[in-house]
Amino acid sequence: MAHPKRKISRTRRDKRRTHDKLGFKQIFTDPKSGDTSLYHRINMETGIYRGVQVIEVKTS
């Protein structure tokens, strides 16, 4: 296994880890129906994407 030649300082290590955090997911709320879904995703319950009916939803 490879070993580092020098110890990496805490500051340098933490700078590298700044982007490892989790972010919040963006949620889109449809103004007409009030349904919520993720951005750039079709709402599978209603078949609506950005206020437009794009797929037919089978009703049981």
Tell me if the pTM is above 0.85: no
Is the Cα torsion angle 8, 11, 13, 15 positive or negative in sign? negative
Q: Determine the pLDDT at residue 26.
A: 87
pLDDT of the residue at 15: 94
Q: Which helix (H) or strand (E) holds 29?
A: strand 27-29
Predicted pLDDT at 46: 81
Query: What residue segments make up the domains of the chain, in order of their start?
Result: 23-60
Q: pLDDT tens digits, residue range 1-54?
A: 789 899 999 999 999 999 988 888 888 887 777 878 888 888 888 888 877 889
